[in-house]
Amino acid sequence: MRSAIVMAPLLLLGTAASRSASGARSPGASPASVAFNDNRVAAGAVHAGVLDVHLEVDTGAWHPYSSDSTGVHILAFREVGHPLETPGPMLRVTAGERIHAWVTNHAATTLVVHGLASRRRVVMDTLVVPPGGTRDVEFTADAEGTYYYWGSTSGTGFEDRLYADAQLNGALIVDPTDARQRAPDRVFVIQWYIPGHDSTGAPDRENGFFTFNGRPWPNTERLSYEQGDSIHWRIINATADVHPLHLHGFFYQIRARGDDQQDTLYWPAQRRMAVTELLLDGTTMDLAWFADRPGSWIFHCHLNWHVVPNPGVGPAMQSDAMRDHDLFTGPVIHDMNDHAREGMGGLVLAIHIRPRADWHQYAGPRRQLHLYIESDSAATDTVRRFGYELTQGNAPEPRNAALQWPGPTIVLHRNEPTTITIVNHSPEPSQVHWHGLEIDSYYDGVAGISSNAGMVEPMIMPNDSFVVHLTPPRTGSFMYHTHINDLRQQSHGLYGALVVLDSGQRRDPDANRIYMLSTNAQDEPILNGGDLPPEATFQAGRTYRLRFMNITLDSPGLEFHLVRDGAPIRWTRVAKDGFTLPAWQRESSPARQRVSIGETYDMQVMFPKPTELALEVRRANETLVARQVIRVVAPH
Ligand SMILES: [Cu+2]
CA of 456 to the centre of ligand 1 (A): 26
* Single-letter amino acid, residue 423: V
Q: Give the separation between CA 134 and CA 567, rounded to whole angstroms.
A: 55
What separation in Å is there between the alpha carbon of 573 and the centre of ligand 1? Answer: 26
CA of 45 from ligand 1 middle (Å) equals 35
Output the CA 9–ligand 1 centroid distance in Å.
26
Distance 303 CA to ligand 1 centre (A): 5
Amino acid at 614: A
Query: What is the Å distance from ligand 1's center to 258 Cα?
Result: 18
DSSP bridge pairs for 516 = 549
CA–centroid distance, 564 to ligand 1, in Å, is: 34
Compute the distance from residue 311 Cα to the ligand 1 centre, in Å. 15
Write down the pLDDT at residue 381. Answer: 64
Q: Which helix (H) or strand (E) holds 371?
A: strand 367-375
Q: What's the length of the chain?
A: 636
Q: Which residues of the chain have pLDDT under 50?
A: 1-27
Distance of CA 24 from the midpoint of ligand 1 (Å) = 31
- Please work out, in degrees rounded to the nearest 5, the angle formed at the alpha carbon of residue 115 by the alpha carbons of 111 and 118: 135
CA 272 – ligand 1 centroid, Å:
21
How many angstroms does the Cα of residue 131 sit away from the middle of ligand 1? 34
Ligand 1: centre distance to CA 302 (Å)? 6
Query: 94, exposed or middle or buried, with CB in 10 Å at 0-12, 13-18, 19+?
Result: middle
Distance 450 CA to ligand 1 centre (A): 21
**Ligand 1 mean position to 306 CA, how many Å?**
5
Element (H, E) at 336: helix 336-342
Three-state secondary structure call for residue 533 = coil
How far is CA 390 from each of CA 407, 408, 448, rounded to the nearest angstrom? 8, 6, 25
Distance 520 CA to ligand 1 centre (A): 20
The beta strand positions in 551-619, using DSSP E, are 559-564, 567-568, 570-576, 579-580, 588-590, 592-594, 600-606, 611-618
β-pair partners for 150:
114, 169
- How many A from CA of 216 to the centre of ligand 1? 12
- Ligand 1 centre from 214 Cα, in Å? 15
Say how far apart CA 350 and CA 11 lie, in whole Å.
Answer: 7
Q: Characterize 275-285 residue by residue with b for buried, 16 or more Cβ atoms within 10 angstroms of its Cβ, and e for exposed.
A: bbbbbebbbbb
CA distance 269 to 264: 14
Task: Check residue 380 and give its pLDDT.
Answer: 65
Which of 409, 436, 470, 479 is closest to 580 using CA atoms?
436
Give the pLDDT of residue 185: 96
454 C-alpha to ligand 1 centroid (Å)? 31
Distance from the alpha carbon of residue 348 to the mean position of ligand 1, in angstroms = 10
Q: Find the 636 Cα to ligand 1 centroid distance in Å.
A: 47
Alpha carbon distance 51, 40 (integer Å): 17
CA–centroid distance, 301 to ligand 1, in Å, is 4
* H-helix or E-strand spanning residue 4: helix 2-12
The pLDDT of residue 71: 86
Separation of CA 244 and ligand 1 centre (Å): 6
